[in-house]
Structure 1
Amino acid sequence: MAALPKCVLLQLLLLALSFHALDAQTQAPNISLGSTLLAGKNSYWLSPSGDFAFGFYNLTGDLFLAGVWFHKIPQKTLVWSANRDQPVRIGSTIELTLGGILVIRDPQGTDDFWIYNGTSADSASMQDDGNFVLRNSGSTVVWQSFSSPTDTILPGQTLKKDQKLISNFNGTTNYSTGRFELLMQYDGNLLLNDEYADPAYWYSATQTPNSSLVFNKSSMLLYVFNNTGIALLLTDDAILPRPLGDYYHRATIDDGGNFAQYTFWKGNGSGVGAGQWSMVWGAIEDPCTTNAICGEYGYCVLDENKKASCHCLQGYSQIDPNNPFKGCYPDFVPQSCQEYASGANFEIVRMNDADFPNNGFADLARINNSDADSCEKAVSEDCFCMAAVLEFGMCRKKRMPLLNGRQGIPSSSGRLAFIKVPLSNRTISSDVHGKKEHHYRALGAGLITTSILAFLFAALTIYYYHVSQKLRSMKISPNVMVNGSAVTQGLVH
């Protein structure tokens, strides 16, 4: 092969250097104004070590979130997102404008999403601790992702008063806002609760104002800290793997409502714990005890991996088969006390080692000195009662809707649940088409009724309008002629 001319070699060398500089720019400490990322082009800005990336995180197909993730591990675990409830499509951009604004733009340029809308940012950087920051010309941080967490905190990050973490809707398939939250309450109490607004199902009992949840960067310990020091140590130093620097660390509230700390070994190989996140501490030991984890009319059992598995009560079906945590709906028409008086249209189903605790709310009724037969009879004879739990001689009638269902776990051991289930002659089709048809018939009937009422109202309005007009004309002329004589009109006073 003939040797290339020196001028061509020089041009190739300069071109290679330019490509190297372009690649290195993604890992530069400072990202300059005017920089842009494009969705669908594997476009992101790396931290100096390459441990974290900020950019477009691909969900499924052509949907993307603007966020921060662990970049060196196969899972590319997302730890923060700016637009978790508003994914964008291929062709969207993230732009740090010349005016210092950080914005997500859609391909049409008609629906911008402002991440930072200030005017003082002069540069940006993806830091090695997982914090994406904007700084002014004096290098002071004016905005940071650590100040607006989603479902995760990282070492060096603090959850301050009234800040919260909110779970994803469905694991790693739907990152939108979920049901559960970890709240650093204003009074210093760290709480886990859910959208059903029940009392917190876990709390730290650290009621000192101005407390914070701290994820210590050097020790990797989680603790509640107040003005005087550590109020509560959540994780124990003894449970953390060594050396600490050989592992990635995060603490996340998951879609099952548990807040837990995880580690990921940075090394290669296939040893124990390699290639996956391992939980080293969790606030909830039994995931089935999380408030309403299986939604309305669902109940929770532990699967072979000791994880929550949701099922529907007999006579109920899943609202969303792809997400059992959303709960269940009845396959039957609501109960009529008159129709159920004879007891011939339903049966009582028993569930061993099952419970439906109300978590602080009163039961419908409590009957002492009960046994299985008397408790079942109490449910059968009460048309307003759909379920009860026999608990050590006390029959607890439950309020609707049924929540917090669980079976086969330590807290439900020895309890017996009774569920009233209508028989098939009262059952309606669970087919979606049937539900829509039933809905449309009801809607059509409602529209017809509304139209008739509207017509009658209009007719009455016209009638009374003409009557009032006639009366008004009579009031204007107080004297009328009767047989040629003027008399006073009785309607005028």
Structure 2
Amino acid sequence: MSLDLLPFLLLILHHTNGQNSPNISIGSTFTAGDNGSLLSSSGDFAFGFYPVSDTLFLVGIWFNKIQERTLVWSANRDSPAETGSTISLTNGGQLVLNYANGTVQQIYSGTARLGIMQGDGNLFLRDTSSNNVWESFKFPTDTLLPGQTLLSAAKLYSNSNSSGNLKYSAGKFMLEMQYDGKLVLSAYHFADPGYWLSSQANQGNGEVNLVFNQRNALLYLEKGQNNTIYSFQKNVPTPVEDHYHRATLDSFGNFQQYAHHKTNGRNWVRVWKIPSEPCIVNAVCGAYGFCRSNDNETVDCECLPGYVFFDPSTPTLYARVQNCRKPEPETGKNQ
């Protein structure tokens, strides 16, 4: 983009609440509860405030055209913002979340002049020389999209299996692209070395990255350039461009790829998952529970002798996926 055109573009692309545009310029503001969003040119993806309740919102990116508006990235997954909170690209070029209670979160603290919601779901910030200075793809939460790469030492964290406002908060499972070239799933809260890992370690020079190929929607570990050392299953629905695709670390510790037909699809269809058996996931039932599964899909947790569920009356996403605790001492009895 020519620098001579920048002031004019900043003027015509200035965003106000309730409008949709593929770009944001300095001075632009979104307000939680006002339904304003930054759309990609196709409208497939949106950036803005994603509601998790009537009054709480996440700053996020989501699939915008399908009925299930699936969240793929968030800047404040552990701290939902209240109605009236704002996202601003300040006059100084910082991308800032201002909570309604006065708390401030710097999403990007450098100097940007323009933000662009790309058609692949990546939010770019650019400076006055049109250099990319920040992008959401470099800071993933629980999901990868085609065109995205999980670099060496980068991580995905599952969502919580809580219900309500904390549904999207960071959970207890992690996918890590290790320095040694192995991709590892672990229950990191429990100092778990891993319940699944790719079989190939890094040999020789060059970093290993997890690549989600945009052209064929396949995931693989790549060393250097065009040197594939591990591939996931290849039964991706075709034509690839007729589907939305994502790979997500779910709240029960499974890394899964999904596809959703853009026009005829009613829901996400799983392409593959690892591990194949849900009870292989370490600590899926917590430190004091053990796992059963009759169908290799749903999980039924039971507590070890001497322990009880934290809240047996609370329904969960799967049959009885809850952690266990020691029971409270009985009171009111003669000692």
Same fold (TM over 0.5): yes
SS at match of 1:245: helix
Q: Deviations over 1:396-422 (max 9, x none)?
A: xxxxxxxxxxxxxxxxxxxxxxxxxxx
Residue in structure 2 matched with residue 490 of structure 1 by the alignment: none
Question: Could you tell me how far 1:91 is from its partner in structure 2?
Answer: 0.4
Q: Deviations over 1:413-469 (max 9, x none)?
A: xxxxxxxxxxxxxxx44xxxx5xx99xxxxxxxxxxxxxxxxxxxxxxxxxxxxxxx
* TM-aligned CA distance change 1:23 to 1:88, over 3 Å: closer
Residue in structure 2 matched with residue 295 of structure 1 by the alignment: 286
1:200 to 194, 199, 205: 194
Residue in structure 1 matched with residue 128 of structure 2 by the alignment: 137
SS at match of 2:241: helix
Residue in structure 2 matched with residue 491 of structure 1 by the alignment: none
C-alpha contact (below 8 Å) 2:17/2:34 kept by paired residues: no
Moved more, 167-176 or 65-74: 167-176
**Counterparts of 2:244 and 2:162 in 1: how far apart (Å)?**
20
2:221 to 224, 238, 243: 224
Structure 2 residue 277 is the aligned partner of structure 1 residue 286: yes
Please give the residue correspondences for 1:287-326 in structure 2 after superposition, counting only pairs within 5 Å: 287-302=278-293, 306-321=297-312, 322=314, 325-326=321-322
Residue in structure 2 matched with residue 165 of structure 1 by the alignment: 156
Moved more, 157-166 or 168-177: 168-177
SS at match of 2:279: helix
**Counterparts of 1:171 and 1:151 in 2: how far apart (Å)?**
15
SS at match of 2:160: strand
* TM-aligned CA distance change 1:299 to 1:247, over 3 Å: same
Please give the residue correspondences for 1:347-358 in structure 2 after superposition, counting only pairs within 5 Å: none
Structure 1: gaps spanning 5 or more residues = 1-17, 269-273, 333-427, 439-493
Q: Quick one: higher RCO (CA 8 Å, sep 6+), 1 or 2?
A: 2
Number of aligned residue pairs: give it.
Answer: 308
Structure 2 residue 208 is the aligned partner of structure 1 residue 211: yes
**Counterparts of 2:143 and 2:110 in 1: how far apart (Å)?**
25
**Counterparts of 2:163 and 2:270 in 1: how far apart (Å)?**
17
1:242 to 224, 230, 238: 238
**Counterparts of 1:91 and 1:164 in 2: how far apart (Å)?**
32
* TM-aligned CA distance change 1:178 to 1:24, over 3 Å: closer
1:87 to 80, 102, 111: 80
Matched residue type, 2:287: E
Moved more, 169-178 or 227-236: 169-178
Residue in structure 1 matched with residue 54 of structure 2 by the alignment: 61
* TM-aligned CA distance change 1:25 to 1:87, over 3 Å: closer
Matched residue type, 1:102: L
Residue in structure 1 matched with residue 103 of structure 2 by the alignment: 111
**Counterparts of 2:168 and 2:54 in 1: how far apart (Å)?**
15
Question: Could you tell me how far 1:310 is from its partner in structure 2?
Answer: 1.9
TM-score by length of 1: 0.59
**Counterparts of 1:303 and 1:275 in 2: how far apart (Å)?**
27
Question: Could you tell me how far 1:88 is from its partner in structure 2?
Answer: 0.7
**Counterparts of 1:134 and 1:85 in 2: how far apart (Å)?**
23
Q: Deviations over 1:266-288 (max 9, x none)?
A: 123xxxxx311111111210011
**Counterparts of 2:184 and 2:55 in 1: how far apart (Å)?**
36
Structure 2 residue 188 is the aligned partner of structure 1 residue 182: no
Question: Could you tell me how far 1:101 is from its partner in structure 2?
Answer: 0.7
C-alpha contact (below 8 Å) 1:206/1:224 kept by paired residues: no
* TM-aligned CA distance change 1:303 to 1:56, over 3 Å: farther
C-alpha contact (below 8 Å) 1:27/1:50 kept by paired residues: no
Residue in structure 1 matched with residue 231 of structure 2 by the alignment: 233
SS at match of 1:175: coil
Residue in structure 1 matched with residue 69 of structure 2 by the alignment: 76
Structure ranking higher in helix proportion: 1
Residue in structure 1 matched with residue 7 of structure 2 by the alignment: none
**Counterparts of 2:67 and 2:122 in 1: how far apart (Å)?**
20
**Counterparts of 2:259 and 2:163 in 1: how far apart (Å)?**
17
Question: Could you tell me how far 1:314 is from its partner in structure 2?
Answer: 4.7
CA RMSD in angstroms, aligned pairs only: 2.3
Question: Could you tell me how far 1:61 is from its partner in structure 2?
Answer: 2.6
* TM-aligned CA distance change 1:23 to 1:50, over 3 Å: farther
**Counterparts of 1:172 and 1:250 in 2: how far apart (Å)?**
22
Matched residue type, 1:200: G
Identity of aligned residues (%): 46
**Counterparts of 2:147 and 2:52 in 1: how far apart (Å)?**
27
Residue in structure 2 matched with residue 36 of structure 1 by the alignment: 29
TM-score by length of 2: 0.86
* TM-aligned CA distance change 1:182 to 1:38, over 3 Å: same
**Counterparts of 1:284 and 1:219 in 2: how far apart (Å)?**
23
Question: Could you tell me how far 1:235 is from its partner in structure 2?
Answer: 2.4
**Counterparts of 1:293 and 1:327 in 2: how far apart (Å)?**
8
